A and B are shown apart, each in its own frame.
Chain A
Amino acid sequence: MAIDRRDFLKWISAGAGIAALPACETTGSRAQPGSARVVVIGGGYGGATAAKYVKMWAPDIDVVLVERSDRFISCPLSNLVLAGNTTMQEITMGYDGLRSRGVRIIRDEAEAIDADKRQVRLARGDVLNYDRLIVSPGIDFLDTIPGLRSPQARERVLHAWKAGEQTVALRKQLEAMPDGGVYVLHIPLGPYRCPPGPYERVCQVADYFKRAKPRSKILVLDTNPDIVSKPGLFKAEWNGPYKGMIDYRPNSELEDVDAKGMTLKLTFDSVKGDVLNVIPPHRAADIAQKAGLITTNDRWCNLDWTTGESLAVKGIHVLGDATLSAPAMPKSASMANQHGKFCAAAVIALIKGQAVTPPVIMNTCYSFVSRTSAMHVTSIHQYDPAQKTLVPVKGAGGISDKSSELEGTFAWGWARNIWSDTLA
């Protein structure tokens, strides 16, 4: 409880609490009335953005971000690291930008949530009281592949679907692969994080092979019946600059992995490779499961799309990839960043007893097909009171006509701006 006393002193000394907020419910050693507290779990695109915007739009609210890592590594653009087209350094940032805005960051892991007491217990034992809790936990993988249960197997057959150590490790595997080898990518059934991501990865690995190991092949085993995002545009690349390098096999359901034998077992077939890259199916991450926030198919968290508040547990808002997607809404960094902002606005309004305006949010995702060329997909989602959800606006949004270097420039501009909007 030391944390709360420190807060109390901090708020007294800062002269905060003059905004005459409605008195918070007094629980445990919560700071005195006037300093409502929002706790955010998870410092990814959703959580970091939410923390920044609650603080920026309502400086009188105490904002605490709980994040287990001391650094933010971007999933967007991490496929470029695999090809040597950018570096880990380029996509890795710190949280000082949020600190300088007044967000308090606790480097720890949320272990449990008590929604009745409005408390979060951290792994190191501290307890945080909250008025509203924002959970932006990202994803964890389903345990559906027996052959990937051992740590040794998981070191050999990587997912690299959370940017970080695995990104570096997969890059090393690709570099170590002899020319003429086969890289195999397995894609889970949607919904999964970043719909165009696997196909962008195929382009990036192809770009690298073309340059460094031209006799090598790429085998894409897709559980889905077709390329999930921008199919025409990706096929144009695979039949264009990368012609003859990529063998795409839809409807390829994975039964098991033999990591020692470097073999993927499909329903009717077995496939060997030199580098195996399996993206397992995923669900809302562990803390969402522990807190009872998962509502649908044992995987995703359904929410009120006007506020982001969980439909399962009052007072808790859920953001980002962990959510049960609204119609045609992708699990993307862009969406998570936008969830963070509309949720921040709603959380402030709810704390201050103001009306909540239903959100309008926009998705913008770029995929790099080479070192310099990219293409986009975009959609706009307005709230429909009849359906009680966000729905894509018909006739709006769309995709690129073709990939281009101009869009490659915009894609880097997108990255620099979303990083700034999320972290600084």
Chain B
Amino acid sequence: MKAPFAHTITLCLVVAGHAVPGFAQDQNAARDLAASCFTCHGTNGNSVGNVPPSLAGRDRDELVQMLKDFKAGKRSATIMHQQAKGYTDEQLETIAAYFAAQKPAPARIPSKAGS
């Protein structure tokens, strides 16, 4: 239920422009927080080659649990257990909700030089 609801919000914001600045700014804050994950997991969580895995459209609760388990050291990883510790629980929840609301799509690949 979460993901389609969030899409609706986004759509309304686009239509309404600046009519709801509070919502818009919360949305932007979530986007900006999640953007730190894009470097490795792809823009909006759509990963090139799925390594590291894509996060777009994943179940929100599953992502929250996974991130909290990484943070608590309950789930082993090469790097995520160290990174999840850098965020508050609230930030991890915001990040999870952001990715859950993204549409899975093929990652864009940079063009070859000279093309």
B28 at the interface (CB under 8 A from A): yes
Neighbour of A57 across the interface among B31, B41, B109, B112, CB < 8 A: B31
Neighbour of A357 across the interface among B25, B51, B112, CB < 8 A: B25
CA distance A186 to B35 in the complex (A): 36
Neighbour of A409 across the interface among B41, B51, B86, CB < 8 A: B51
Question: Judging by beta carbons under 8 Å apart, are B115 and A420 in contact?
Answer: no
CA distance A43 to B48 in the complex (A): 21
In chain A, positions 94-146 with a C-beta closer than 8 Å to chain B are: 94-97
Question: Judging by beta carbons under 8 Å apart, are B110 and A93 in contact?
Answer: yes
Identify the stretch in B5-13, B59-67, B76-84, B96-104 within 8 Å (CB) of chain A at 4 or more residues.
Answer: B76-84
CA distance A407 to B43 in the complex (A): 21
Interface residues on A, range: 35 or more
Question: Judging by beta carbons under 8 Å apart, are B83 and A378 in contact?
Answer: yes
CA distance A228 to B6 in the complex (A): 45
The closest CB in chain A to the CB of B46 belongs to A420
A256 at the interface (CB under 8 A from B): no
CA distance A423 to B108 in the complex (A): 9
- Known contacts A71-B114, A94-B115, A341-B38: does B32 contact A397 (CB below 8 Å)? no
The closest CB in chain B to the CB of A407 belongs to B78
Number of A-B contacts (CB under 8 A): 156
Identify the stretch in A187-195, A236-244, A360-368 within 8 Å (CB) of chain B at 4 or more residues.
Answer: A360-368
B52 at the interface (CB under 8 A from A): yes
B3 at the interface (CB under 8 A from A): no
Question: Judging by beta carbons under 8 Å apart, are A413 and B49 in contact?
Answer: yes
Question: Judging by beta carbons under 8 Å apart, are A420 and B82 in contact?
Answer: no
- Most B C-beta atoms less than 10 A away, residue of A345, A379, A416: A416
In chain A, positions 62-100 with a C-beta closer than 8 Å to chain B are: 70-72, 92-97
The closest CB in chain B to the CB of A409 belongs to B51
- Known contacts A417-B48, A424-B109: does B83 contact A354 (CB below 8 Å)? no
- Known contacts A364-B40, A378-B82, A400-B78: does B49 contact A97 (CB below 8 Å)? no
- Most B C-beta atoms less than 10 A away, residue of A19, A72, A354, A421: A421
The closest CB in chain A to the CB of B32 belongs to A345
A248 at the interface (CB under 8 A from B): no
- Most A C-beta atoms less than 10 A away, residue of B78, B108, B110, B111: B110
Question: Judging by beta carbons under 8 Å apart, are A70 and B114 in contact?
Answer: yes
Residues of A within 8 A of B43 (CB): 56, 420-421, 424
CA distance A96 to B109 in the complex (A): 10
CA distance A214 to B14 in the complex (A): 63
A→B interface (CB under 8 Å): 19-20, 53, 56-57, 70-72, 92-97, 334, 337-338, 341-342, 345, 349, 352, 354-355, 357, 359-362, 364, 376, 378-380, 382, 393, 395-398, 400, 404, 406-407, 409-410, 412-414, 416-424
14 contacting pairs across A/B (C-beta < 8 A):
A53-B35, A71-B113, A92-B113, A93-B113, A94-B112, A97-B108, A97-B110, A357-B32, A362-B37, A396-B85, A396-B86, A413-B40, A416-B51, A417-B107
